[in-house]
């Protein structure tokens, strides 16, 4: 499918478009209170426009392995399944069945549009559930994440699985929580890691102690060197280790470089600090937020242990897909700090600045 935007500019156009919306939103936070009628009108207009834009722009992108990484791999799956080829993979079985089923009913371009919908639409429902009239802010934080675009255009099944997982956490009834999390795991097996973290959070919901656990993983990883990559490979991560530590890259090339990534550790630490500030300093108490925060700490701690691995972004994403809601959730649930709307804008600017710089200026 031809695009009116040159393919080499396709990704930059997305980030510049998002930058414009972020700046306009930031200006609103400077001059209007959160409960202003004008803010609600702004959300009613810009929210649906942004939702539709992201789905269509991401879903109708040109098919390219050069500019969109593993998109060429997904295209290959679709094409061989369209010829009647059987499913031979024993991993991520739901994804393969979904792709095979789609290949019999639609074109490859509609398939990628559907994938974008499965990735983005759950985020809308999550934000509507948690933040009601102010859903747009939560949605903007989620799609403004450093890894959001990459996992909608490259690590596609991982991205969809992450959205399914968050949708599960947002459900009130336990049966729906379990159903969506199981679907997430069967779409991408690595969702087992945050699923274990979520399970533990239900029985051991102690954010302060989990912060200590996360912090201890840093010196342990520094001392342990490559021990943990080999250890996790020896207990059943063999195939996944080969797959995730040697395959592909996200749209920027930051994870080509091995070693202890202090820059990405600092990025992860922003959510850790935010959770500490809300829970310990401001005494914010919310069962769902405790679940989110503890799951994030558990999953991110695992990544820290294997941080030296080549292309460990695949494990980093198992916590990073939650980072937006960890940062913004308390600020949209109740008033806990003075001039809260203004503070939301400042957090948004700082948060998206990292995304913009890493994806465009440093890339």
DSSP conformation letters of 189-251: GGGHHHHHHHHHHHH---HHHHHHHHHHHHHHHHHHTTHHHHHHIIIIIHHHHHHHHHS---S
Quote the tokens at residue 281: 């300093």
Cα 177 to Cα 103, 326, 331: the distances in Å are 29, 19, 24
- Ramachandran category for residue 339: left, alpha or beta (phi over 0 → left; psi -120 to 50 → alpha): left
Look up the pTM and report it: 0.90
What's the confidence (pLDDT) of residue 177?
A: 95
Cβ 164 vs Cβ 183: under 8 Å: yes
Angle (deg, nearest 10), helices 37-59 and 7-31:
170
264, two tokens = 């990405």
Rounded to whole angstroms, the Cα distance separating 165 from 225 reads 31
Question: What pLDDT does 251 receive?
Answer: 38
SS3 253: coil
Opening angle at CA 306, ends 303 and 308, nearest 5: 120
Q: So what's the pLDDT on residue 237?
A: 47
247's tokens: 């395959």
Q: What is the longest distance spanned by two Cα atoms in the chain?
A: 61
Ranges under pLDDT 70 in the chain: 1-3, 225-260, 309-313, 363
């Amino acid at each position: 499918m031809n695009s009116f935007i040159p393919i080499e500019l396709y990704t930059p156009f997305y980030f510049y478009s998002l930058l414009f919306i972020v700046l306009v939103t930031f200006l609103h936070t400077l001059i209007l209170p959160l409960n202003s009628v004008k803010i609600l009108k702004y959300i009613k207009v810009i929210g649906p426009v942004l939702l539709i834009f992201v789905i269509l722009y991401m879903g109708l992108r040109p098919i390219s392995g050069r500019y969109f990484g593993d998109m060429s791999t997904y295209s290959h799956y679709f094409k061989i399944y369209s010829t009647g080829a059987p499913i031979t993979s024993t991993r991520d079985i739901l994804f393969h069945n979904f792709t095979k089923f789609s290949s019999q009913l639609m074109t490859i371009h509609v398939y990628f549009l559907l994938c974008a919908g499965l990735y983005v639409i759950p985020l809308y429902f999550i934000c509507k559930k948690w933040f009601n009239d102010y859903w747009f802010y939560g949605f903007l934080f989620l799609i403004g994440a450093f890894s959001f675009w990459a996992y909608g255009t490259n690590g596609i099944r991982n991205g969809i699985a992450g959205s399914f997982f968050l949708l599960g956490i947002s459900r009130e009834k336990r049966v729906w929580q379990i159903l969506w999390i199981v679907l997430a795991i069967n779409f991408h097996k690595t969702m087992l890691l945050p699923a274990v973290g979520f399970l533990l959070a239900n029985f051991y919901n102690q954010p302060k102690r989990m912060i200590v656990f996360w912090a201890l993983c840093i010196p342990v990883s520094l001392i342990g060197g490559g021990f943990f990559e080999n250890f996790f490979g020896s207990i059943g991560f063999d195939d996944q280790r080969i797959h995730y530590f040697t395959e592909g890259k996200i749209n920027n090339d930051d994870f080509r470089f091995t070693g202890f990534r202090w820059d990405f550790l600092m990025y992860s630490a922003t959510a850790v600090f935010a959770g500490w500030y809300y829970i310990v300093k401001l005494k914010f108490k919310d069962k769902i937020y405790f679940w989110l925060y503890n799951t994030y700490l558990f999953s991110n701690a695992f990544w820290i242990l294997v941080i030296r691995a080549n292309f460990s972004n695949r494990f980093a994403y198992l916590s990073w897909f939650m980072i937006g809601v960890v940062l913004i959730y308390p600020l949209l649930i109740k008033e806990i700090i003075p001039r809260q709307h203004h503070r939301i804008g400042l957090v948004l600017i700082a948060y998206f600045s990292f995304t913009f710089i890493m994806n465009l200026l440093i890339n």
